[in-house]
Amino acid sequence: MLRRLLGRIEDGRFGRALAGMQAGWQWECKNREAGLVEGFVRDGIKERMVVIERRGRGGAARCSCEDAVKRGVLCKHVAFAAMSELGLAAAARSKHRQLEELGR
Ligand SMILES: [Zn+2]
């Protein structure tokens, strides 16, 4: 779902989310359940609330920023939240694999 959502984010906004990652933006997940992720993106000055839901093909997302609210687009914060969630999931899988390897 998250990868498909990322595929729908316009290149400029995707790039700004990558730049945010380099600049140390933080993702604080408040709620993670089947088909729903909610949390905050912090860029050091402002805090935006992002909600990503599994709905239809690829999911739906919203953010409290002006870009998302006024233009109705998938913004850089949504991109950042999705990337962060994918990163966390990949890290958890990798850790699990390492533990399995240790157990052999
Ligand atoms: Zn936003």
| pLDDT tens-place string over residues 10-52 | 999 999 999 999 999 999 999 999 889 999 999 999 999 999 9
**Structural domain total, the chain:** 1
pLDDT in the model for residue 98? 85
Q: Please provide the average confidence, as pLDDT, over all residues in the chain.
A: 93
Query: How far is the centre of ligand 1, averaged over its atoms, from the C-alpha of 77 (Å)?
Result: 4
Query: How far is the centre of ligand 1, averaged over its atoms, from the C-alpha of 99 (Å)?
Result: 37
Phi first, then psi, for residue 4 (nearest 5°) are -65, -40
Query: How far is the centre of ligand 1, averaged over its atoms, from the C-alpha of 85 (Å)?
Result: 16
- Residues near 22 by beta carbon (within 8 Å), at least 6 away in sequence: none
pLDDT surpassing 80 at residue 60: yes
Q: Containing domain of residue 89, as a range?
A: 2-103
pLDDT in the model for residue 57? 67
